Amino acid sequence: MKVIAGSFNPTQKDEIIWQDKLFELGFLNYIDGVSIHTYHNTDSTFMPPQDNLSLIDAMQEKIIKIKGAVLPVYITEIGISDYYKTKYHKLI
C-alpha cells in the first residue's frame, strides 16, 4: 500500500507556506507521493502553462533538498477554475 498525500497547490503562496512547514516537520518521511491540484484562481490573471510547470518543478526541488530523494508528484486535478472572482469567462 502506498500513501499519497494531498492535495497541495504549488501555484498558491499561502498553500506553499503550509506545504513547506509540513515538509520541514518531517511529513515527507511518512508518504510515498504527493498529489497536487494546480488551479490558479486568486486573481484575474491567467497563468501560462510553463509558469505552472515551473512551480511544480520548484516543489519537486524542495522535496529532493529536504528528503534527499525524488518523491512522485501526481497531478490529480488541473484546469481553469470558474471561481466567481476570476475573470476567465471574459476571455472566452
Please tell me the distance from the alpha carbon of residue 92 to that of residue 3, in angstroms, as a whole number: 39
pLDDT of residue 6: 82
Model pLDDT, residue 8: 87
* pLDDT (0 to 100) of residue 43: 58
Residue 60, SS3 per DSSP:
helix
Q: What is the pLDDT of residue 86?
A: 55
Q: Does the predicted TM-score (pTM) go above 0.85?
A: no
**What's phi and psi for 69, nearest 5 deg?**
-160, 160
Q: What is the pLDDT of residue 90?
A: 55
Pick out the chain residues at pLDDT < 70. Answer: 41-46, 80-92
Q: How much is the pLDDT for 81?
A: 62
